[in-house]
Homo-oligomer: A and B are copies of this chain.
């Protein structure tokens, strides 16, 4: 068993980490770090538990530690981070001296030699780790996962990009409130309403997606070369981001072929049979009115992305469109980091 710690353990993504790591076959939670306000208390006493599922017994009595390497039990090998961006910028580097840091924070995404990875999409970016360690003189390293909306989109684009030449993509999101954190969206702002703005979200989607679907040549990442434009909106849904995607290819295509490539898509995590890897990263539904966030967010234990309404565009010869739903705090956050760590554990540690 690999001992793991969680940074930001009392927050909403921190709680998802705990839920996903409970009864994990390879990882055992032995350290939970949070703010000074929580440090020194038992986790059960320090935490307002937000998930519908009960807090696992195994973590209740763990005494929360401060968020720095000195206070972390040194038997820990991997730390999962759901720290706020500004804080993560410094703290994750401190941990990387000695620990593997699997981070859901955006602070180090797309930085030089820091892999931004979705295991089904660009596992080869992990090759950056050697350079990262040498450059910084670290024994550990940092691996990051993308923004929640980006992950769901990119998973569905991977089998398309692999088999067709993509010209341009527009995506309009309808994102769940949990993506903003427990206190992020006041109920007064969203009941009988929606908010057509999420800070930095469009920029993240537009940059991270091209990076993830690009190439790593051993030195730098060459972005994928299609055009991508995003419009992001918050809707009154608890969990599960929905995205309407418009794709323009360079050539003619058969819509059944698109469907087949998505449905049959499997990649390294499926081959390696990683514990959190869903059998199908992308599930394509034929029902007229799916996917729906409440009905489909838990597909593949929250690790599959569900696609529906896949159809040709009448107005564009080489265009098609579809709708996707992905669980934003599982596949889009904690589950993404866990799957990264499983791949690292299998391949590198």
A residues contacting B by CB (< 8 A) are: 12, 50, 52-53, 168, 170, 172, 174, 177-178, 182-197, 206, 227-229, 231, 233, 235-238, 242, 244, 246, 288-295, 298, 308-309, 313-316, 319, 321, 323
- A259 shortest CB reach to chain B, Å: 16
Take A187-B189, A292-B194 as given contacts and tell me if A235 and B235 are in contact as well, using a CB distance cutoff of 8 Å. yes
Measured between beta carbons, the chain B residues less than 8 angstroms from A291 are: 196
Take A182-B188, A233-B323 as given contacts and tell me if A194 and B174 are in contact as well, using a CB distance cutoff of 8 Å. yes
| Cα-based distance from A12 to B189 in the complex (angstroms) | 13
Measured between beta carbons, the chain B residues less than 8 angstroms from A288 are: 197
Take A177-B191, A186-B187, A188-B50 as given contacts and tell me if A196 and B315 are in contact as well, using a CB distance cutoff of 8 Å. no
| Cα-based distance from A237 to B191 in the complex (angstroms) | 8
Q: B233 touching A174 by the CB < 8 A rule?
A: yes
Measured between beta carbons, the chain B residues less than 8 angstroms from A236 are: 187, 191-192, 235-237
Measured between beta carbons, the chain B residues less than 8 angstroms from A294 are: 52, 191-193
Could you list 6 A-B pairs, sorted by A, with CB under 8 Å? Answer: A172-B244, A182-B186, A192-B237, A193-B293, A206-B314, A229-B316
Q: B193 touching A292 by the CB < 8 A rule?
A: yes
Q: B195 touching A289 by the CB < 8 A rule?
A: yes
Measured between beta carbons, the chain B residues less than 8 angstroms from A192 are: 191-192, 236-238, 293-294
Q: A289 touching B197 by the CB < 8 A rule?
A: yes
| Cα-based distance from A49 to B270 in the complex (angstroms) | 29
| Cα-based distance from A90 to B152 in the complex (angstroms) | 48
Q: B321 touching A244 by the CB < 8 A rule?
A: no
Q: B289 touching A231 by the CB < 8 A rule?
A: no
Q: Which of B186, B246, B292, B313 contacts A186 (CB 8 A)?
A: B186
| Cα-based distance from A237 to B187 in the complex (angstroms) | 9
Q: A229 touching B321 by the CB < 8 A rule?
A: yes
Of chain B, the residue at the smallest CB distance from A196 is: B323
**Residue from A174, A193, A237 having most chain B Cβ neighbours under 10 A:** A193
Q: A292 touching B177 by the CB < 8 A rule?
A: no
Q: A231 touching B206 by the CB < 8 A rule?
A: no
Q: B246 touching A242 by the CB < 8 A rule?
A: no
Q: B242 touching A196 by the CB < 8 A rule?
A: yes
Q: A194 touching B52 by the CB < 8 A rule?
A: no
| Cα-based distance from A206 to B321 in the complex (angstroms) | 14
| Cα-based distance from A190 to B170 in the complex (angstroms) | 25
Of chain B, the residue at the smallest CB distance from A291 is: B196
Q: B235 touching A174 by the CB < 8 A rule?
A: yes
Measured between beta carbons, the chain B residues less than 8 angstroms from A172 are: 172, 231, 244, 246
| Cα-based distance from A53 to B319 in the complex (angstroms) | 34
Measured between beta carbons, the chain B residues less than 8 angstroms from A293 are: 192-194
| Cα-based distance from A284 to B199 in the complex (angstroms) | 20
Q: A196 touching B289 by the CB < 8 A rule?
A: yes
Take A183-B186, A187-B187, A187-B191 as given contacts and tell me if A196 and B290 are in contact as well, using a CB distance cutoff of 8 Å. yes
